[in-house]
Amino acid sequence: MNIELRQIHKRFGSVHANNDISVTFAAGRIVGILGENGAGKSTLMKILSGYQPADSGEILIGGQRVDYSGPQAAIAHGIGMLQQDPLDVGAFSVLENFTYGQPGGLTFNRRDAEWRLNQLCQRFGFDLPANTPVEMLSIAQRQQLEIVRLLALGVRVLILDEPTTGISADQKQQLFNVLRALAQEMQAIILLVSHKLEDVIALCDEVIVLRAGQLVGAQQMPATTSELVSLMFGGQLPPQARIQSHLGDVVLRLENAHLSDRRLAMRDVNFQVRAGEVVGLAGLDGSGQRPFMRACAGLDKLLSGRVMVKDEAMTGRPYRDFLAHKVVFGAAGRLEEGLIAGLTLTDHIALATTPGWAVDWAEAERYTNARIEQYHVRGRATDNIEQLSGGNQQRVLMALLPEDPVALVLEQPTRGLDVESARWIWQQLLARRDKGSAIIFSSAELEELVTYSDRILVFYAGQIYEVPDVTRTSVDELGHLIGGAFMQAT
């Protein structure tokens, strides 16, 4: 069964997100969908999976035109999408999430559903206990659950959006083995949206490349990283140089801190960061980085110990007090914590820059347009933030940061960004570092951690290990450390 898209068009205001795209996906093939942020990749995949309607164009399955609205209708035609953050309900069990969309609704046969779940898990080597709450699963397990759920619904076209973010090398290899088996044994079509070119090279049979909403190229694999970069950006990117900054006084520290979230507790944590220093946090999701960072920014309270900003005790004080001391937090969830769906770009700028209650809207719009130009945002001041691509939302978040913070505490600041957009984000961050700002950031990109960090802290099951010499640490060595290698050596 082949899938064909013909002359797909989709606009969001002035942005032509998909401009006359025609492409065919053949059964049994794994296809990488490449392009810089805002190129139209996610929009095209959301149209194919029913999450968004096209303005015009056709979708053909096996040569027959189909019309559907909504992801459930797309699933009925055998097309399903695994989102970057799986669409599950954390308080419900694995089995309850597995049965979403299955015939019978709330009256499903539990014994039959559990047998089917176990059969699929055994086939692919997944460990998904039926009664476990989903909130207790790792990101990799949640992806596995969504894959078996979609397969149980009869999906034969599986779209994956950045599926390797936040999972270990072993988990990624297991995922890739499953995807290859689906393509070869079931003749499924696997469509991989990813900015990680090493993943595309390792997994895909072919790639298509979008640029500014248009299909600009295709490439049979194997291909080199430089060839794919040239297709995406029209040329090679210069090598990224490592530049050391001058370190100043300590600007933020934790003293004998006891931190906790629902998964783990961390005791006697001592940490400090200096002006002009970049500290990278490595580790799988749920290893302790999140409560550590939120404690540094006053978003989570310490159970004991102290947090200091310069020489002032900030223990127990709210985030607005940290903001007043120029300690700024940037969340990984753009639309969950960082931005507000339904508000325009001007609304966001006004919220971030207006000191009192009265907003000068003419001035706010003027300033927003200036920030749009400065930060190369593809969007208008009057656009709602959710209309922008993930990369452009990230640029807006950067535009909202103050120019002279004491410390930036950033969760995955380049999450889901292509290599050029990620470099641009770091240019803005390092410009602040050079003015004396401290930067604490987490990342699932090991090369990013090695490239930009003056120090790296590795988190594993609530334990923290500091890499002795970042300049002599390879990506491979760091990968072993986040898997707990330092625990085995102690």
The CATH number assigned to the domain holding 141 equals 3.40.50.300
- Number of domains composing the chain: 3
* Rounded-to-10 torsion of CA 161, 415, 469, 289: -100
Q: What is the spatial distance between Cα 225 and Cα 259, in angstroms, rounded to a whole number?
A: 41
- 454 contact partners, CB below 8 Å, separation of at least 6: 244, 245, 247, 277, 278, 279, 470
Same domain? For 286 and 218 the reply is no
**361 and 443 co-located in one domain:** no
Whether 281 maps to a domain, the answer reads yes
**Residue 242 falls inside a structural domain:** no
pLDDT for 105 equals 58
Is 135 in contact with 90 (CB distance < 8 Å)? yes
How many Cα atoms are found within 13 Å in the side-chain-facing hemisphere of 117?
A: 24
Cα separation, 419 vs 417, whole angstroms: 7
Do 45 and 71 belong to one domain? yes
Does residue 335 form part of some domain? no
> Which residues of the chain fall short of a pLDDT of 70?
103-108, 166, 236-243, 487-490
For residue 245, give the amino acid letter. S
Map tokens 């699933």 to a residue.
75
Residue 370's pLDDT is what? 94
Enter the pTM of the model: 0.76
Query: Do 315 and 356 sit in the same domain of this protein?
Result: no
Tell me, yes or no, whether 416 and 380 share the same domain: no
Q: Residue 439 domain-assigned?
A: yes
Strand order in the sheet with 407-411: 327-330, 407-411, 438-442, 278-282, 455-460, 463-466
- Which of 375, 401, 427 is at the close of a domain? 401
Ordered alpha helix ranges (H), 131-215: 139-152, 169-185, 197-203
CA 441/CA 127 separation, integer angstroms: 31
User: Within a domain: residue 163?
Assistant: yes
Same domain, 103 and 12: yes
Domain C-terminal end among 380, 401, 422 = 401
Domain holding 426, by residue range, is: 250-326+403-489
Q: Which two tokens stand for residue 25?
A: 């996906």
In a domain, 333, yes or no: no
Residue pair 293/411 in contact by the 8 Å Cβ criterion:
yes
Q: Confirm whether 245 is domain-assigned.
A: no
Distance separating alpha carbons of residues 22 and 44, to the nearest angstrom: 11
- Whether 196 and 313 map to the same domain: the answer is no
| In a domain? residue 480 | yes
376 and 482 both lie in a single domain: no
Nearest C-alpha neighbor of 288 from the set 458, 490, 477: 458
pLDDT of residue 239: 66
Is there a single domain that holds both residue 361 and residue 476?
no
- If asked whether residues 373 and 407 sit together in one domain, one would say no
The residue assigned the tokens 């070119």 is: 197
In the listed set 181, 201, 233, which residue is the last one of a domain according to the structure?
233
Residue type, 129: P
The reply to whether 22 and 117 lie within a common domain is yes
Q: Tell me, what's the pLDDT at 255?
A: 97
SS3 124: helix
CA distance 330 to 339: 10
- Residues 390 and 310 placed together within one structural domain of the fold: no
